[in-house]
Amino acid sequence: MRILLVEDHPVLGRDIKQGLERYHYAVDLVIDGTDAVLLGETTPYDLIILDILLPGLDGWEVCRRLRAAHRAMPILFLTARGEVDDRIRGLDLGADDYLVKPFDFRELEARVRALLRRDSSTRTSTLQFLDLTLDTRTQEARRGTRVIALSSKEYALLHFLMSRPREILSRTTIAEHVWDYDAEHLSNVIDVYIGYLRQKLCANGEPEVIHTKRGAGYQLKEPEQ
């Protein structure tokens, strides 16, 4: 899951990015409102975390412009402005959530998780596909009862596949959601990571659930008979 973090505080921005990366999110950090609009319009982020006081455009204007450009990803305002009027203004501009600084990082992460599962059919913290379960709270993956140990990128990849079950996902789409800006060009290594995942998911001879669609990409689907 790929997140755009717009925060101009040099230490806080870096810390949030590192914290979220520990939860296997791909995070792009920008410090400027203009850059935020540019990236938000061109990259299919799964979530945007937005400060209000920013150089360039302020957070409200960034939110307004993205919504005007029909970008529908969830937007979370993260700001020191905690007045009720400010919150109402932010939510009315099209934001989905509002978190006031200072905040507990665990709460931020929980809200990120909540916003990310908003579009999925299941509204719990656990994603499920057939006998495959992924607990986004404990970051534990299971096939049946068997616990699967995953590396950070494998987890991110599986999380994305399970959030879009049965959709055919091109390598580019996968790269855009699993890798951050610095690694996006590595889309050609996705085949190898899919290989890793398959090996782990089928280690006990379970049937294949990640299918290759030649020339199109990959699909999480019921095993073929």
Partner 1 sequence: MKRLSQKLWPPGIRLQMVCWYTAVFTLVLLLAGAAFYHYVENALENSVDTSLQIQAHQIAAEIVAGHDTLTIHDATGALSGLSGSQPVDGPFTVQQDTFVRLLDAQGQVVRETPDSRILQIPSQSITQALQGQPWQGTINTITGQEVQFYSQAFTVQGKPLLVLQVGQSLETLHALLHQLVVLLLMVGALALLVCAISSFLLTRRTFTPVQHLMQTAQRIKAGDLRQRVPVPAAQDEIRALAVSLNDMLDALDQTMTRQRRFVADASHELRTPVAVIRNKTSIVLLQPQKRQEYITVLHEVNTEAERLGKLISDLLALARGDEGHAPFERESVRLDVLVEATAASLQPLAEERAVQLTVHAEQPVTLMGDEARLIQVVMNLLENALRYTNAGGQVSLTVQLGPDQVQVVVQDTGIGIAPEHLPHLFGRFYQVDPARNSTERGSHGLGLSIVAWIVQAHGGTIAVTSQPGQGSCFTVTLPLIPLAPTNESR
CB of 149 to partner 1, least distance (A): 4
Q: Are 177 and 161 in contact (CB under 8 A)?
A: no
Q: Could you say whether residue 185 binds partner 1 (CB under 8 A)?
A: yes
CB of 42 to partner 1, least distance (A): 14
Nearer to partner 1, 120 or 199 (CB): 199
Q: Where are the strands (E) in the chain, listed by range?
A: 2-6, 26-30, 47-50, 75-79, 97-100, 126-129, 132-135, 140-143, 146-148, 168-169, 210-213, 217-220
Q: Could you say whether residue 216 binds partner 1 (CB under 8 A)?
A: no
Annotate each residue in 144-183 with x if it binds partner 1 (CB under 8 A) or - if it does not, as one string.
Answer: -----x-xxx------------------x------x--xx
Q: Could you say whether residue 184 binds partner 1 (CB under 8 A)?
A: yes
CA distance 28 to 154: 19
Q: Please identify, among the stretches 54-62, 82-90, 124-132, 187-195, the one whose residues bind partner 1 according to the rule CB under 8 A.
A: 187-195
Q: Could you say whether residue 192 binds partner 1 (CB under 8 A)?
A: yes
Q: Could you say whether residue 138 binds partner 1 (CB under 8 A)?
A: no
Q: What is the DSSP string of 69-110?
A: TT--S-EEEEES---HHHHHHHHHTT-SEEEESS--HHHHHH
Of 167, 199, 203, 222, the one binding partner 1 (CB under 8 A) is: 199
Q: Please identify, among the stretches 30-38, 79-87, 93-101, 194-202, the one whose residues bind partner 1 according to the rule CB under 8 A.
A: 194-202
Question: Which residues, listed in sequence order, are joined to residue 129 by a DSSP beta bridge?
Answer: 132
For 43, 56, 95, 149, 222, the CA distances from 38, given in Å and listed in that order, are 9, 12, 18, 37, 38
Chain residues in the site for partner 1 (CB under 8 A): 149, 151-153, 172, 179, 182-189, 191-196, 199
